[in-house]
Structure 1
Amino acid sequence: MSIEAPGEWLSVLELLSREKGKVLILGATDTGKSFLVRFIIENLCPRGFIIGLVDADIGQSFLGPPTTIGFSLFKYHPSWEIIFSSPEIFFVGSTSPEGHFPIFLKGVKKMVDRATSSEANLILIDTTGFVSGEGGKELKRRKIELLSPHFILALQRSDEIEPILELFNDRPQIKIFRLPLSPGVRIRSMEERRIYRAKRFQDYFKEAQIYELSLEGIQMEGEVMDPNGETLPLDWALRINGLLIGLKDIQDETLALGLIRHYLEEKKQLRILTPLQEIQKVKIIQLSSQKVILSRDEENS
């Protein structure tokens, strides 16, 4: 499916082809940020560009499963195809950055640093649609300060992200482009978004198997909150069937995600559903308050 691109997109494309650098894409929900990402990749990779994409839209992610920030390299192949490397992921543990600013920003910075040290000659940073209110403004301000992008591509229907952009109008090192939306963009309902997340989790755990992991010597990070915002004791949290966790190695790198299936308290072991085969590499478990129900769970209930 070809993307309907406004003329302003074509002008920005030519500029990026000459100047390169880090490109932060901003916009509210359903403004076509992913459309713009795809447009840039599909038009610059055939020209020989290697594009590093940091997918920080943790609610509607497409490089990794929801709750993660993904990084991948896109390049052109002689078979006339655009190929991309297997995504690296950073587990945030939530489908929204609200209430998770520190770990979310840590993950974005880590993945952008990874992209910067790669062979990419252009880095695209896709973001969430959380731009409204003081929370959205503060998150985007901190992200821009942290990443120091060379370009900001701002997609807006009217002037909804001007409160963010005006904070950086006097920064000559950041070039800001206010862009119209593609005519092909449509508004998706909350139900469509929920279904998309469920399918992404379903696909991620499709080939997963259950492993028993001894908790001896395993470091626990994060906490599990109940619906009232109270922190659950660890022994209670580990008994939640379907609790989403991040499985990390000794270098604090996310190896994979997992779902708790059973806590064997006497043996201090966890039964975990995960696509990760080298379970012995897990040295850190990062907890979350996210529970995931797969279709196989519903069939067995």
Structure 2
Amino acid sequence: MDARGRPGAPPADWEAAAAALVGQGGLVLVLGASDTGKTTLTRFLVERIRGAGLAVAWIDGDMGQATLGPPTTVTLACFPRGPGPPAPATQRVMRFVGATSPRGHMLPTVVGLARLAARARTLGADATIVDTTGLVNGPAALALKTAKCELLQPTACLALERAGELEELLQGLPAWVRPRIRRLAAAPFSRPRSWQTRRAYREARLRAYFQEARSLPLPASLIAHARPVGLPKPEEEAAAWTDLVVGLNDEGHDTLALGVVEAGSPGEGWLVVRTPLGSAEAVRAIVPGSLRWRVEHILDGGSR
């Protein structure tokens, strides 16, 4: 609610942050623990900027509770400037992280975000809003957020808090970042969600994404050589690859689509991947992740 107590209206400090962003543009990092309203704030800022007739980019950096793309990815949506009602996104670009958490996948996370931010600049965004994960506690959180700041060089960091829970994280960020931090009230209408609810959301998003998937044979020579520790090597038996979620990337390493390994023998030179991608023509790399998702869940709508 706002300062006048109207339920559902954005807080007054959100309105002030939006007005500042419309005036200065740049790149904004949205920080906050889980269930503080980061995505709600991001959507609010995007709509305010679009309403001002400016071009805006939304980067969804939460690969677990993904909004713009499927889980395991970070995704860019660009909205053009222009008069009249805000236009829909003209371009979406996806980068495969390989998991539903940045833990163990920090390098593809920060590299993916940096590449998406660069794409937003190329596409002429006046402002770019980066939604982030709820990982805010401990050394891993500080390392991740610091890397994001160093690579993205935000003009502002909007920190959503309920009771000062971000203090340690914010004080640990590089000195040049701290003057750019703007603390905002957490969304008053946001409610905590259980891990079961979060898992169900991920499952539903994956099922919806793979609803129109089909089997696509691919040469195993496309399997990327750089893969997280513990994943099977290409010469290992097919059983080690079955149900592995993979990214199907183009020559620029943008992700064309996700896939789930259905069958095949990498040692013999082939894989069959279930994917919504219609053709293998543009695929230049198969990037293994660390998430497994049974093909049967795609076919029968079940969940694991």
- For 1:47, the equivalent position in structure 2 comes to 52
Question: 1:99-110, aligned counterparts within 5 Å?
Answer: 99-110=104-115
Unaligned runs of 5+ in 2: 1-6
One-letter identity of the residue aligned with 2:260: L
Change over 3 Å in CA distance of 1:224–1:185 after alignment to 2: same
- For 2:124, the equivalent position in structure 1 comes to 119
Task: Say if 1:222 and 1:288, in contact at 8 Å, map to a contact too.
Answer: no
- For 2:4, the equivalent position in structure 1 comes to none
- For 2:261, the equivalent position in structure 1 comes to 260
One-letter identity of the residue aligned with 1:254: T
- Give the Cα–Cα distance (whole angstroms) in 2 for the partners of residues 71 and 138 of structure 1: 23
SS at match of 1:125: strand
Unaligned runs of 5+ in 1: none
One-letter identity of the residue aligned with 2:247: G
Question: 1:289-300, aligned counterparts within 5 Å?
Answer: 289-293=290-294, 294-297=297-300
- Give the Cα–Cα distance (whole angstroms) in 2 for the partners of residues 282 and 169 of structure 1: 39
SS at match of 1:144: helix
One-letter identity of the residue aligned with 2:225: E
Question: 1:1-301, aligned counterparts within 5 Å?
Answer: 3-75=8-80, 80=85, 82-168=87-173, 170-171=175-176, 175-215=180-220, 217-223=221-227, 230-236=230-236, 238-239=238-239, 240-264=241-265, 268-293=269-294, 294-297=297-300
1:168 positional shift = 4.7
1:140 positional shift = 0.6
The Cα offsets for residues 15-53 of structure 1, whole Å up to 9 and x where unpaired, read as: 111111111100011110001011112222122021101
1:213 positional shift = 1.5
Number of aligned residue pairs: 293
- For 2:3, the equivalent position in structure 1 comes to none
- Give the Cα–Cα distance (whole angstroms) in 2 for the partners of residues 252 and 12 of structure 1: 34
- Give the Cα–Cα distance (whole angstroms) in 2 for the partners of residues 154 and 295 of structure 1: 38
Change over 3 Å in CA distance of 1:281–1:71 after alignment to 2: same
- Give the Cα–Cα distance (whole angstroms) in 2 for the partners of residues 40 and 164 of structure 1: 23
SS at match of 1:263: strand
SS at match of 1:192: helix
- Give the Cα–Cα distance (whole angstroms) in 2 for the partners of residues 266 and 236 of structure 1: 6
- Give the Cα–Cα distance (whole angstroms) in 2 for the partners of residues 214 and 83 of structure 1: 36
One-letter identity of the residue aligned with 1:142: A
1:65 positional shift = 0.5
One-letter identity of the residue aligned with 1:71: L
SS at match of 2:201: helix
| RMSD value, Cα | 2.4
1:136 positional shift = 0.7
